[in-house]
Amino acid sequence: MGAGEALTGGTVSVTAQAPALQLTGLLKRFGDMTAVDHIDLTVPRGSFFGLVGPNGAGKTTSLAMAVGLLKPDGGSAEVFGVDVWADPVPAKQLIGVLPDGMALPERLTGRELLTYLGLLRGLDPATVARRAQELLEVLELTEAEHTMVVDYSAGMRKKITLATALLHTPRLLVLDEPFEAIDPVSAVTIRAILRRFVRAGGSVVISSHVMTLVEQLCDHVGVIARGRLVASGTLDQVRGNGSLDEAFVRLVGVRVNPLDGLSWLAS
Amino acid sequence: MAGVLSGHPAQTTTSDGIWPTTSVLIGMRRALARNSPGGRETVLALRFAGLLVAVGTLLLGLVGPGLDRSVDLLAALILGWLVGWVMGPIMVRGAGQGLRPEWFALLPVPPRRLAAGLLGASLVGVAPALTLVAFAAMPVAAGRFGMLPVLVALPAMLLELLVVVLLSRVVVAAMTGLLSTRHGQELGGLLFAVVIALASGGWSLASVMGQQLAQGPGPALSTTLRVLPSGWGPVAVGAAARSDWLLVLGPLFGLAVLAGLLVLAWAWLLPRTMRQPAGQAPRMARRRTPTGHAPRMARNRAVTGRAAARHRLLPAGPTGAVVGKELRVWRRDPARLLLLLLAVLISGLNLAVPAVIFHGPAALPWAGLAATLIVGMGTANMYGDDGTALWLTRMTPGTERADVRGRQAAWLLVVAPATVALTVAVTALTGQGWAWPWVLATLPAVLGGTAGLTILVSATMPIRQKDPGRRTGPFDTSDDPSAAGALIGRQYLMLLLAALTAVPAGAVVLAGAARHEPILQAAGVLAGIATGVLLYWWGGRIAARRLATRGADLMDLLNLGPQARTRGTGSYSGRPRPAGERGVPSRTGPEPGRPLPRGKAALRGALLTLGILCIVPQGLVPIGFNLLGVDHQVKVWFAARYLEESLQAPAAAAFIVVGMLAILFARSISRSR
């Protein structure tokens, strides 16, 4: 596998009709705990897919395995028909990833980080400079031009990582909790960017706990609970007649009656 | 859950007095110690070592021949413990199970009660108990001089313990405050570097002190030992033996006053550390510019335009990008700057102090080589030190080779010019002409070899460290003591490997010197360059291949820790990850830790301690001393050096064999679980 070939991008054989992301029997165990329990999931091309689930349900683990950042114990993940684990080089050219809570080269400024990653991906310096400038402007990171990533706030960190995910014009974006810690103004911007990306034919997968956000943005939804996919389909298929909130509670199950206990709180 | 919450509604308000607060805090500290991940064996090993040292101190307290000598000896021993108490928390910051005051910032507990409670909790535990055992040397030694000295020695012992523990708390609190600002971090790093360098060069000082104590200390040493607070207790005991009651009460009173002052200092520092928790200090305010200097900021604005121009100096493409990133990191990351400083200080002091004390400048030309080895030790975990940042390389496929070669090139660009200049300057200035063939042959081998081997070790056996964005300072790299221990092991492995790279070139020069053939000596330089180039190329090649083929395992390891590899086989113990762990690991699930049974863990810890003690200080160090021709008076605690000269090398070799057996045995215990 020549590095040059991988870096020039472009010529990746993509199966004509394969879905943007296809997870088949994905499995991950930590000791005796099964974090992801044989998940099958299809993200159609051009869809804006929302993955929802309670804390610890396995969303982050599933997405990390889907993009090649965490080795699955079983099953497969395919991006446009390319197996992420068997054929990682072409697969990873197709995806842009915003992982949750991964480290960055902390002692670079935002622009330096984007420049470094762009050159590392084999983009020519002029393109890198132009795209970095645009991304920093759109994501309102130009004011922090001279701040190193180590000094970024949680929201800025999210935004610069999102910029690294967009830099190489991927065809599928996999974003883990993209709106967490983001201020409302930036959230509007990011939503607009993502919507435009989908309109132009791109596909997006986001994970979130915020149902209203998923309802507003996504056209497809998958619900994960206790490591299993309990529902998946278009937004209307999953939520039926009620709201997504109600569907979510019905699917995940009410674990504790909120009116039991805590009686002393109001006394 | 609800039952727990509603069952004891009064829990949060009962701790009214100082004692309830203290007992809750003691319980909390015990729970923290219990839950510290994978640290059990390390903790047990440390306790075992501590017990040995404590009992050793106690026994040493008995050997002082006369009254004055006993007082000096006791004062020296207590000083040693005091230094340990002060240095320990600084050196293993974050690795201990201490209670951090900032955790309690939101509790409605009066600060003074919290201060008292935290102090009380720090006086209860294994370490104070061991210290008490050691300090019992005072009453035990006093027993030889009568009943009254023993009665004085008992309060003296307790007061010394109090002072030592309090001093340790005050230093930690002061350091916490210091480390919460950028300048404080830099200052703290500098202090740390100096202290480490002094400690590493301190063996020669310790050996002088040990000789003096054995032969009867000189007046200067004796006075110093007695003037320091660690000597006040022994002075009081000695005075009691002479019935000099003024000199009994004075030091005891002094210790009590000192303890009081330390309590006040701590109560003053406590709210400050709580207000500015090191991990959560306002970051934007802390550091605004890449370098922290305003002029640089102005310059940086212009630099943005020049960035492309600067990149042209580097090879175009991915490798150049990595070199550019790495060079910036070397310049900006305090941890890396500190490493360079440490390398210079440690190599300088370790070679210069003996050169002065024992009048042997012969070691000085090796300063550059030693500095290279130390930088190599510090960069033996390059991928681990970046936290989980490997994900970027993982998501940019095909760039593994560029990443490895770029890191190697940047390493060499940073280290080589300085060490070559240092070597040439020192060798020329000290007039050690004989050294030229040696240093010129070995330096290229070690430079190239270390640049190749650090990346190889980093890529093949990384150790998971805290993500750099979450560190509170250059040393806050892990909350897991076993990772800290593993890192030290890796660093010594790196030292050994890097030192071995000098062997081929050294052998050629040695052959040339033995046969008096200058041409053969000169050929050593060629051998050195060949070794360096070959290892640079080979190490990088293996590392790149490893990153490309085993990158997923590496990512898992950096992400989840070593336990991730035992997936599906271990029994899940259900322990939560340590507090403060953010990100994927805590979300993907707790790691399966499976501790050894207590007895086996203790045995394993003891064996590992024994093994390291036998191999390094009792085996390698005496051999190194003999090779370097260190003065035979330098014996300290190196057992082999007390033997007849012809027996020293075999004895040291025997120690190494015993040490290796102990470590092998320890490994077989952990495998048999």
Does the pLDDT value for residue B97 go beyond 50?
Answer: no
A27 touches chain B (CB under 8 A): no
Select from B2, B307, B590 the Cβ nearest to the Cβ of A261.
B2
Give the H/E segment covering residue B659: helix B645-671
Most confident of B149-153, B516-520, B585-589: B149-153
Residues from chain A that touch B328, judged by Cβ atoms under 8 A, are 107-108, 112
Letter for the amino acid at B398? Answer: G
- pLDDT at position B646 is 75
Residues from chain A that touch B383, judged by Cβ atoms under 8 A, are none
Does the pLDDT value for residue B185 go beyond 90?
Answer: no
- Cβ–Cβ gap B469/A7 under 8 Å: no
Select from A30, A67, A105 the Cβ nearest to the Cβ of B592.
A30
Spatial distance between the Cα atoms of A199 and B649, rounded to a whole number of angstroms: 77
Q: Exposed, middle or buried by CB within 10 Å (0-12, 13-18, 19+), for B501? A: buried
Q: Where are the alpha helices (DSSP H) in B396-460?
A: 400-429, 436-460
Where is average pLDDT lowest: A84-93, B5-14, B307-316, B318-327?
Answer: B5-14
Quickly state the pLDDT bin for A206 (edges 50, 70, 90).
very high
Select from B399, B563, B592 the Cβ nearest to the Cβ of A120.
B399
Query: What pTM does this model have?
Result: 0.69
Select from A105, A115, A157 the Cβ nearest to the Cβ of B389.
A105
State the smallest CA–CA distance between residue B483 and chain A in angstroms. 18
Spatial distance between the Cα atoms of B669 and B609, rounded to a whole number of angstroms: 14
**Percent of chain B surpassing pLDDT 70:** 69
**Nearest by Cα to B597 from B496, B663, B651, B672:** B672
Where is average pLDDT lowest: A206-215, B17-26, B224-233?
Answer: B17-26
Spatial distance between the Cα atoms of A69 and B486, rounded to a whole number of angstroms: 24
Does the pLDDT value for residue A100 go beyond 80?
Answer: yes
State the smallest CA–CA distance between residue A132 and chain B in angstroms. 12
Does the pLDDT value for residue A86 go beyond 70?
Answer: yes
Q: Where are the alpha helices (DSSP H) in chain A?
A: 3-8, 59-67, 88-94, 110-120, 125-138, 154-166, 184-199, 211-217, 235-239, 244-252
**CB contact residues (below 8 A), chain B span 547-566, against chain A:** 552-553, 555-556, 559-560, 563-564, 566
Most confident of B44-53, B212-221, B354-363, B403-412: B403-412
- pLDDT at position B342 is 82
A256 touches chain B (CB under 8 A): yes
Spatial distance between the Cα atoms of A122 and B440, rounded to a whole number of angstroms: 39
- Cβ–Cβ gap A95/B395 under 8 Å: yes
- Asked if the structure places residue A10 within a domain, the reply is no
Domain count, chain A: 1
**CB contact residues (below 8 A), chain A span 118-177, against chain B:** 118-122, 125, 129, 145-153, 157, 164
The beta-strand segments (E) located in B23-145 are none
Does the pLDDT value for residue A267 go beyond 70?
Answer: no
B294 touches chain A (CB under 8 A): no
- pLDDT at position A87 is 86
**Closest chain A residue to B398 measured between Cα atoms?**
A3
- pLDDT at position B568 is 37
Segment B557-571 shows an average pLDDT of 57
Does the pLDDT value for residue B69 go beyond 70?
Answer: yes
Beta sheet of A48-52, edge-to-edge order: A95-98, A172-176, A203-208, A48-52, A220-225, A228-234
- Cβ–Cβ gap B469/A157 under 8 Å: yes
Q: CA geometry: angle at B371 spanning B369 and B373, to 5°?
A: 70
- pLDDT at position B545 is 94
Most confident of A106-115, B286-295, B400-409, B647-656: B400-409
**Nearest by Cα to B505 from B519, B492, B522:** B522
Spatial distance between the Cα atoms of B365 and B279, rounded to a whole number of angstroms: 42
Residues from chain B that touch A29, judged by Cβ atoms under 8 A, are 567-568
- Cβ–Cβ gap A119/B389 under 8 Å: no
The CATH number for A57's domain is 3.40.50.300
- The count of other CB atoms within 10 Å of the CB of residue B65 is 9
- Asked if the structure places residue A127 within a domain, the reply is no
- pLDDT at position B16 is 57
Q: How far is CA B314 from CA B290, B533, B603, in A?
A: 21, 20, 54
Spatial distance between the Cα atoms of B655 and B639, rounded to a whole number of angstroms: 9
Residues from chain B that touch A103, judged by Cβ atoms under 8 A, are 386-389, 391, 467-469
State the smallest CA–CA distance between residue B329 and chain A in angstroms. 6
Does the pLDDT value for residue B39 go beyond 70?
Answer: no
**Closest chain A residue to B315 measured between Cα atoms?**
A119
Does the pLDDT value for residue B206 go beyond 80?
Answer: no
Quickly state the pLDDT bin for B618 (edges 50, 70, 90).
confident
Selected residue with higher pLDDT from B416 and B3: B416
- Cβ–Cβ gap B591/A31 under 8 Å: yes
Could you give phi then psi for residue B597, rounded to 5 degrees?
-60, 150
Selected residue with higher pLDDT from A111 and B671: A111
Which residue has tokens 């999953």? A238
Spatial distance between the Cα atoms of B215 and B222, rounded to a whole number of angstroms: 12
Residues from chain B that touch A3, judged by Cβ atoms under 8 A, are 318, 398-399, 401-402
User: Whole domain around residue A88: which residue ranges?
Assistant: 18-102+171-252
Quickly state the pLDDT bin for B235 (edges 50, 70, 90).
very high
Q: How does strand A82-83 pair with strand A74-79?
A: antiparallel
Segment A34-60 shows an average pLDDT of 92
Q: What is the pLDDT of residues B491-525, one digit of tens each?
A: 888 988 998 999 899 889 888 888 888 888 889 99
State the count of interchain CB pairs (< 8 A) between A and B.
229
Q: What is the pLDDT of residues A20-31, one digit of tens each?
A: 999 999 999 888
- pLDDT at position A73 is 92
- pLDDT at position A162 is 93
* ipTM score over 0.85, yes or no: no
- pLDDT at position B177 is 66
Selected residue with higher pLDDT from B314 and B405: B405
- Cβ–Cβ gap A69/B394 under 8 Å: yes
**CB contact residues (below 8 A), chain B span 299-338, against chain A:** 300-301, 304, 307-308, 311, 316-318, 320-322, 324-325, 328-329, 332-333
- Cβ–Cβ gap A56/B589 under 8 Å: yes
Interface test with B, best of A119, A142, A174, A260 (most B CBs within 10 A): A119
Does the pLDDT value for residue B198 go beyond 60?
Answer: yes
- pLDDT at position B539 is 96
Q: Exposed, middle or buried by CB within 10 Å (0-12, 13-18, 19+), for A155? A: middle
- pLDDT at position B299 is 40
Does the pLDDT value for residue A258 go beyond 70?
Answer: no
- Cβ–Cβ gap A146/B301 under 8 Å: yes
Q: What is the pLDDT of residues B393-449, one digit of tens each?
A: 888 888 999 999 999 999 999 999 999 999 999 888 888 888 888 999 999 999 999
- pLDDT at position B244 is 87
Segment B316-321 shows an average pLDDT of 85
Q: What is the pLDDT of residues B347-394, one digit of tens each?
A: 877 777 667 666 667 778 888 998 999 999 999 999 998 888 999 988
Give the H/E segment covering residue A221: strand A220-225
**Closest chain B residue to A1 measured between Cα atoms?**
B398
Segment A141-169 shows an average pLDDT of 89
The answer to whether the CB of B604 falls within 8 A of the CB of B669 is yes
**Nearest by Cα to B231 from B41, B55, B74:** B74
Where is average pLDDT lowest: A48-62, B55-69, B517-531, B627-641?
Answer: B627-641
Spatial distance between the Cα atoms of B195 and A253, rounded to a whole number of angstroms: 58
Query: And the tokens for B575?
Result: 């322990």
- Asked if the structure places residue A57 within a domain, the reply is yes
Quickly state the pLDDT bin for B305 (edges 50, 70, 90).
very low
Letter for the amino acid at B433? Answer: G
Does the pLDDT value for residue B211 go beyond 70?
Answer: no
Spatial distance between the Cα atoms of B93 and A94, rounded to a whole number of angstroms: 43
Residues from chain A that touch B2, judged by Cβ atoms under 8 A, are 256, 260-262
Segment B232-244 shows an average pLDDT of 90
Spatial distance between the Cα atoms of B509 and B516, rounded to a whole number of angstroms: 10
Most confident of B10-24, B206-220, B486-500, B538-552: B538-552
Spatial distance between the Cα atoms of A140 and A185, rounded to a whole number of angstroms: 10
- Cβ–Cβ gap B318/A95 under 8 Å: no
**Percent of chain A surpassing pLDDT 70:** 91
Spatial distance between the Cα atoms of B223 and A228, rounded to a whole number of angstroms: 73
- pLDDT at position B363 is 76
Does the pLDDT value for residue B207 go beyond 70?
Answer: no
- Asked if the structure places residue A108 within a domain, the reply is no
Segment A162-178 shows an average pLDDT of 93
- Cβ–Cβ gap B587/A56 under 8 Å: yes
- pLDDT at position B640 is 77
Interface test with B, best of A130, A148, A167 (most B CBs within 10 A): A148
Task: Provide the mean pLDDT of chain B.
Answer: 76
Letter for the amino acid at B103? Answer: W
Segment B579-583 shows an average pLDDT of 36
Spatial distance between the Cα atoms of B522 and A194, rounded to a whole number of angstroms: 65
Reduced to 3 states, what is the DSSP secondary structure of residue A52? strand
Segment B177-190 shows an average pLDDT of 65
- pLDDT at position B327 is 92
Selected residue with higher pLDDT from B298 and A239: A239
Q: What is the pLDDT of residues B525-562, one digit of tens each?
A: 999 999 999 999 999 999 999 999 888 888 888 888 77
3-state per-residue secondary structure call for B126-144: HHHHHHHHHHCHHHHHHHH
Q: How far is CA B563 from CA B274, B594, B664, in A?
A: 34, 9, 21
Does the pLDDT value for residue B574 go beyond 70?
Answer: no
- The count of other CB atoms within 10 Å of the CB of residue B573 is 13
- Cβ–Cβ gap A88/B397 under 8 Å: yes
**Nearest by Cα to B63 from B144, B160, B126:** B144
The answer to whether the CB of A66 falls within 8 A of the CB of A82 is no
